[in-house]
Amino acid sequence: MTRLSRVVARLGLRYPGGPALEEERHATWLELFFDLVFVLALSGVTARLTDDQPAAGEIGAAIGIYLLVQWAWVGQAYFDTRFDADDTLHRLITLVATAGAGIIALGVERAPHGVLLPVGYLVVRGALLLMYLRVAASDRSAREVAAVYEIGFGTGWLLWFGSLALPEGTRPVLWIVALAIEMATPWLGRRWLNRHPVHTTHLPERLGQFIIILLGAELASLREAVPLSQPPGRALAAAGIAILVPIAIWWIYTTFVTSGLPVRRLGNGQAYGYLHSPAGASTLFIGWGLGQLVRSIAEGHHTVPLTLRLVYGGSLVGWMLVGTGLQWFTVGHLEPRRQLISAVGVPGMAVLTATITDPELLLGLTAALLTGYAALVSPQITRLTQRL
State which of 193, 214, 242 marks the end of a domain.
193
pLDDT tens-digit readout, 59-115:
999 999 999 999 999 999 999 988 877 788 889 999 999 999 999 999 998 888 889
Q: Tell whether 132 and 228 lie within a shared domain.
A: no
Q: Tell whether 239 and 353 lie within a shared domain.
A: yes
CA distance 281 to 163: 25
Res. 21 pLDDT band, cuts 50 70 90 = low
pLDDT of residue 84: 77
Per-residue pLDDT at 292 exceeds 80: yes
Q: Tell whether 207 and 189 lie within a shared domain.
A: no
pLDDT tens-digit readout, 205-229:
999 999 999 999 888 888 888 877 6
Per-residue pLDDT at 353 exceeds 90: yes
Q: Tell whether 355 and 242 lie within a shared domain.
A: yes
pLDDT of residue 222: 86
Q: Tell whether 261 and 169 lie within a shared domain.
A: no
- Tell me the average pLDDT across 329-340: 86
State which of 158, 193, 228 marks the end of a domain.
193
Asked if residues 294 and 239 have their Cβ atoms less than 8 Å apart, the reply is yes
Per-residue pLDDT at 335 exceeds 90: no
Q: Tell whether 136 and 262 lie within a shared domain.
A: no
Q: Tell whether 48 and 170 lie within a shared domain.
A: yes
Q: Tell whether 209 and 98 lie within a shared domain.
A: no
CA distance 226 to 295: 7
pLDDT tens-digit readout, 165-220:
999 989 999 999 999 999 999 999 988 888 888 888 888 899 999 999 999 988 88
- Tell me the average pLDDT across 309-313: 95
Q: Tell whether 185 and 215 lie within a shared domain.
A: no
Please report, to the nearest 10 degrees, the dihedral formed by the alpha carbons of residues 358, 363, 364, 365 taken in order: 80
Res. 324 pLDDT band, cuts 50 70 90 = very high
Domain limits for position 111: 3-193
* CATH number for 340: 1.20.1410
CA distance 113 to 42: 18
Per-residue pLDDT at 365 exceeds 80: yes
How many CB atoms lie under 10 A from the CB of residue 53? 12
Residues of the chain with pLDDT > 70, as a percent, come to 92
**Local structure of 240: helix, strand or coil:** helix
CA distance 322 to 277: 9
- Tell me the average pLDDT across 227-254: 88
Q: Tell whether 239 and 378 lie within a shared domain.
A: yes
CA distance 10 to 137: 12
CA distance 158 to 121: 11
Q: Tell whether 87 and 19 lie within a shared domain.
A: yes
Res. 240 pLDDT band, cuts 50 70 90 = very high
State which of 153, 170, 193 marks the end of a domain.
193
| Number of domains making up the chain | 2
pLDDT of residue 374: 96
pLDDT of residue 12: 45
Q: Tell whether 178 and 226 lie within a shared domain.
A: no
Per-residue pLDDT at 13 exceeds 80: no
